[in-house]
Structure 1
Amino acid sequence: MKYIFIILAPPYTSKSSGVRALYRLCHHLNEAGYPSAIKADREVRPSDWNVPFHRGAVGDSIVVYPEIVSGNPLRAGKVVRWALNDPGLLAGDTTYPDEEMVFVYDPQKLETVSRAVSEPLGPNRVLWTGLIDPEVIFPDASVPKTIDCSFTHKGRALRERFPLPPGLSIEALEDRTPDMAALGDTLRRTRTLYSYDHYSNVLREAAISGCDIRVISEEEGWHDPRGCSCQKNIWWQDNLVENYARKFRDSSFTHDFVREVHTRWPVPEAAPLRKQSDRFWKVLWPRR
């Protein structure tokens, strides 16, 4: 099968928000009618997600690389670079060539990622997809909150410098959560989550689950990230609890993404998998 987009990704794991984003993008592109596939060393498919795998050459497909991939290992002629974090922070290159179309996941990263390209990026280069599955992450007031948890992840250096508050019995979230179902169950039982990682989707998941949240910084000590101005803070969307389920399921954001890609390379019209009016598709792809 010919794919419009091929996404190079690590093997799927629910423990990485960046990996989940890559697979979720593939799912939404397919749901919106843009045939897409994942290319990975090991094929692990999230259940119920529309995620096929591609094993051959990429041909003239548009290849999407996350920022942790250096260069153009698939030798694609059309490259989209999706910066899910700061360029070069975790891996990959610190600058990107003009031949690539660069997008950011977090709109707060536009200024940072713009330093990696020759021209500043605008809001049309934000590619955001909801990652919080309402089937496993949800509040439940009937569940008693009986534990406090810590979360370290990318904050190992901070943990060495700032110990947890004394006198508390705190369990490591990572030890209790081998999968997403366990994460949801644990967060619904957690009173306070103490996080050394200020830039993690887990903070949003904890907020939705009804946890108090504390993160650490040199300037503010332990504090609630939902009201701070720390440079590394995640993007807290308005009405997070009310809207997260819709954003997880809504594939409509892909049309803006494809329209922007279409300004550089021809993209075939979508073959809608769900009924759409003729007027909708004429607006999306006006004939010239």
Structure 2
Amino acid sequence: MTSRPNYLVHAPAWNPNSGGSIFLHGLVHVLRSLGEEAFIWPWYRDPVPGAGGVAKSILRKPSLLFGSSRHFLNRQLDTPVAHRDNFHQNSIVIYPEIRLGNPMGARNVVRWLLYKPGLQNPFKFTAGEMFFRAGAMSDIPEITGGAQDLYVWQRDPAYRNENQAERKGACYLVRKGAAKTRIPETANAIRIDGKSHAEIAAIFNACKTFYSYDEASLYSQFAAVCGCDSVVIPGLFASRNEWTAQHPIARYGVAYGLDDLDHARKTRHLVDGLLAEKEAEGVETVKRFITATQARFG
């Protein structure tokens, strides 16, 4: 009788400013909270046991010579790093879309589409993979056959409206919108890319308007929570309706283009509640993920 498959999530180090990192580490945390055996598998680590595998891993990540990175995990989450003996033939390995192929040589592979493959990075899937998506925007139905939803949204307590007396100026985010032409409104604005959550929250509370060239960043919602006029610079979709159909978390509090600000202002008060709703829904998507993967690979 075979043991119940465990879960190994192929992930980079924890990065509070990266949605992909937050989702990957968050999945392990939620899986474990639901009673599953789940671990982070650092994506620089070679799966081969023994000295040969260790040597290859060190070549990929020289800092391993000085011990495991104490900064690799978020200590507020239950996300242990896997030992090599946690990887066995029944393990279910989860790769994000940016990992090429099946570097661990796993038999049971889940591909989690956190962003649309090919839009910014190349992709390489392998035969027999099971597909899940963080949202409709990330899916390629002609390849996946229609991926199932899997997301683990998290509200960050740093973001709240301080109700400052006077707001002025603007701030903006580029991230995955680097190819877009810059609009005049951001010429003298504060760029938030790379700043800490505490720094960004303070900027959101001081500025009147936030512009995001990235159409799928949660910072658009965080800006709205802080009281900013939050505007996404369009490009991928022809209309607001098309955009929110693929990205429903943005249906409140965020303008799709400068001519949509009235809607954003009128619905801004609904954003925090929507984020709380999405957190709860996310746990349900993880439960369905467990049911589907254990049925297929168990």
TM-score of the superposed pair, with normalisation by structure 1: 0.74
Write out per-residue CA displacement over residues 161-208 of structure 1, whole angstroms, 9 at most, x where no aligned residue: 334238x74111126x2x222222322222101222222221122122
Aligned to 2:258: none
Aligned to 1:162: 182
Higher helix share: 2
Aligned to 1:253: 285
Q: In structure 2, do the counterparts of structure 1 residues 220 and 234 end up closer, same or farther at CA, with 3 Å as the change threshold?
A: closer
Residue from 24, 30, 33 that aligns with 2:35: 33
- Determine the C-alpha separation between the residues in 1 that align with 2:143 and 2:206: 42
Aligned to 2:224: 207
- Whether 1:87 and 2:117 are equivalent positions in the alignment is yes
Aligned to 2:146: 121
Q: In structure 2, do the counterparts of structure 1 residues 243 and 217 end up closer, same or farther at CA, with 3 Å as the change threshold?
A: closer
Stretch moving more, 209-218 or 30-39: 209-218
- Determine the C-alpha separation between the residues in 2 that align with 1:152 and 1:240: 22
Aligned to 2:275: 244
Write out per-residue CA displacement over residues 224-248 of structure 1, whole angstroms, 9 at most, x where no aligned residue: x9x4534997432565321424644
Q: In structure 2, do the counterparts of structure 1 residues 205 and 3 end up closer, same or farther at CA, with 3 Å as the change threshold?
A: farther
Structure 2 residue ranges without an equivalent (≥5): 45-68, 253-269
Q: Could you say what secondary structure the match of 1:262 adopts?
A: helix
Amino acid at match of 1:67: E
- Whether 1:229 and 2:258 are equivalent positions in the alignment is no
Identical positions, percent: 23
Contact persistence 2:164–2:205 (CA under 8 A): no
- Whether 1:56 and 2:56 are equivalent positions in the alignment is no
- Determine the C-alpha separation between the residues in 2 that align with 1:201 and 1:7: 22
Residue from 174, 191, 197 that aligns with 2:193: 174
TM-score of the superposed pair, with normalisation by structure 2: 0.72
Aligned to 1:262: 294
Over 6 Å off, 4+ runs: none
Stretch moving more, 197-206 or 40-49: 40-49
Structure 1 residue ranges without an equivalent (≥5): 267-288
Deviation at 1:142, TM superposition (A): 4.4
- Determine the C-alpha separation between the residues in 2 that align with 1:183 and 1:195: 13
- Determine the C-alpha separation between the residues in 2 that align with 1:219 and 1:87: 14
Residue from 153, 161, 168 that aligns with 1:139: 161
Q: In structure 2, do the counterparts of structure 1 residues 233 and 78 end up closer, same or farther at CA, with 3 Å as the change threshold?
A: closer
- Determine the C-alpha separation between the residues in 2 that align with 1:219 and 1:51: 35
- Determine the C-alpha separation between the residues in 2 that align with 1:121 and 1:219: 20
Q: In structure 2, do the counterparts of structure 1 residues 83 and 218 end up closer, same or farther at CA, with 3 Å as the change threshold?
A: closer
Q: In structure 2, do the counterparts of structure 1 residues 143 and 261 end up closer, same or farther at CA, with 3 Å as the change threshold?
A: farther
- Determine the C-alpha separation between the residues in 1 that align with 2:95 and 2:165: 41
Stretch moving more, 30-39 or 205-214: 205-214
Amino acid at match of 2:229: D
Aligned length: 248
- Determine the C-alpha separation between the residues in 1 that align with 2:146 and 2:237: 31
Deviation at 1:220, TM superposition (A): 9.9
Deviation at 1:70, TM superposition (A): 0.7
Aligned to 2:12: 10
Contact persistence 2:177–2:214 (CA under 8 A): yes
Contact persistence 1:32–1:251 (CA under 8 A): no
Q: In structure 2, do the counterparts of structure 1 residues 3 and 140 end up closer, same or farther at CA, with 3 Å as the change threshold?
A: farther
Aligned to 1:269: none
- Determine the C-alpha separation between the residues in 1 that align with 2:206 and 2:197: 14
- Determine the C-alpha separation between the residues in 2 that align with 1:206 and 1:241: 11
Amino acid at match of 2:129: E
Q: Could you say what secondary structure the match of 2:204 adopts?
A: helix
- Determine the C-alpha separation between the residues in 2 that align with 1:91 and 1:121: 20
Amino acid at match of 1:86: K
Residue from 192, 198, 210 that aligns with 1:193: 210
Q: In structure 2, do the counterparts of structure 1 residues 92 and 39 end up closer, same or farther at CA, with 3 Å as the change threshold?
A: farther
